[in-house]
Amino acid sequence: MAEMKTYTPPKVWTQDADSGGRFASINRPVAGPTSEKDLPVGKHPFQLYSLATPNGVKVTVLFEELLAAGHTGAEYDAWIINIMEGDQFTSGFVSANPNSKIPALMDHSGDKPQRVFESASIMLHLAEKFGAFIPETPSDRTEMLSWLFWQMGSAPYLGGGFGHFYAYAPEKWQYPIDRFTMEAKRQLDVLDRHLAENEWMAGSYSIADMAIWSWYGQLVLGRLYDAAEFLDVTSYKNVLRWAETIDARPAVKRGRMVNRAFGDDLSMQLRERHDASDFQTKTQDKIEAAEG
């Protein structure tokens, strides 16, 4: 590990060219749009604007689970938002999500379009609209909401904390890596202890499982930050059992593919999704084979 450099904060912080490291081109200390561009709108009631990061995967997994459960009204168009190119700062996207973070949803199923932003809010909106993947009993519903919001509060330590300093920071610094590794492992232990006595996070399979799996399940399956060995994920046996069970669900596999534009396996990339048949005909391997 490189030795930590001493930093004396100025009286008033200002952004410089090095602020943000790998993400300097898209990090900025102000909100609002940087360009004028409308969002595309497809044929379905739900228009999703996203990318297959863990927060994006939460929502596409839920959409695919709803469709697999027979909720045909949950058909959706999924448009890719390239965050490394600043698509999240266009006027159209900022109108859908003033916080300029994926995912954002426009629901056209009612009398007027309804924007929904923040992944947990989108999941609750859809689960309540279709009466699916949300517990019916007050006790289980409360437990589910507690775990859903546990994920929302905890994942920034995993992503912006551990993931950033372990995988993305321009230099390896021991203090922040140690600090956030301890917290990531503590969170995994919280899950492991709960799942030792429960098959699912709250009663039956729910949006809490989907949301938590998108971060912690994929982490223990070796898909985030190339950190599985470093975090000794095999020691969290209950989390692994739960993660593998969810990963085997066909709807989850489809959800992982939507808005995916990275990775070596082009057959797992469905950059836009407008119909169920797209999974068979429009994955990136088939598109490139047709073009070649």
- What pLDDT, on the 0 to 100 scale, is given for residue 20? 61
Produce one character per residue of 216-242: b if its CB has 16 or more CB atoms within 10 Å, e if not. Answer: bbbbbbebbbebeeebebeebebbbeb
Question: What percent of the chain clears pLDDT 70, i.e. is strictly above it?
Answer: 96
pLDDT higher at 247 or 27? 247
3-class secondary-structure state, position 4: coil
- What pLDDT, on the 0 to 100 scale, is given for residue 59? 98
- The band of 1, judged by pLDDT with boundaries at 50, 70 and 90, is very low
CA distance to 208, 209, 236, 256, per residue, from 200 (Å) = 9, 7, 15, 20
- What pLDDT, on the 0 to 100 scale, is given for residue 26? 76
46-50 and 76-80 beta bridge pairing: parallel
80-139 pLDDT, tens digit per residue, is 999 999 999 999 999 999 999 999 999 999 999 999 999 999 999 999 999 999 999 999
Q: Is the peptide bond before 138 cis (omega within 30 degrees of 0)?
A: no
Average pLDDT, the chain: 95
CATH architecture of 138-253: Up-down Bundle (1.20)
- What pLDDT, on the 0 to 100 scale, is given for residue 6? 84
How far apart are alpha carbons 151 and 209 in whole angstroms?
10
Over residues 199-222, mean pLDDT? 98
- What pLDDT, on the 0 to 100 scale, is given for residue 2? 52
User: Could you tell me how far CA 285 lies from the centroid of its own chain?
Assistant: 23
Between 10-19, 25-34, 176-185, 236-245, the lowest mean confidence (pLDDT) is in 10-19
- What pLDDT, on the 0 to 100 scale, is given for residue 3? 61
36-94 pLDDT, tens digit per residue, is 999 999 999 999 999 999 999 999 999 999 999 999 999 999 999 999 999 999 999 99
Q: Is the pLDDT of residue 19 over 70?
A: no
247-285 pLDDT, tens digit per residue, is 999 999 999 999 999 999 999 999 999 999 999 999 999
Give the global pTM.
0.95
- What pLDDT, on the 0 to 100 scale, is given for residue 121? 98
Contacts for 198 with CB less than 8 Å, ≥ 6 apart: none
Over residues 151-172, mean pLDDT? 96
| Strands (DSSP E) found in the chain | 46-50, 76-80, 104-107, 114-117
Over residues 175-181, mean pLDDT? 97
CA distance to 125, 190, 207, 250, 288, per residue, from 235 (Å) = 35, 13, 25, 27, 40
Q: SS3 string of 54-116?
A: HHHHHHHHHHHHHHHCCCHHHCEEEEECCHHHCHHHEHHHHHHCCCCCCCEEEECCCCCCEEE
- What pLDDT, on the 0 to 100 scale, is given for residue 17? 65
And the tokens for 209?
Answer: 């499982």
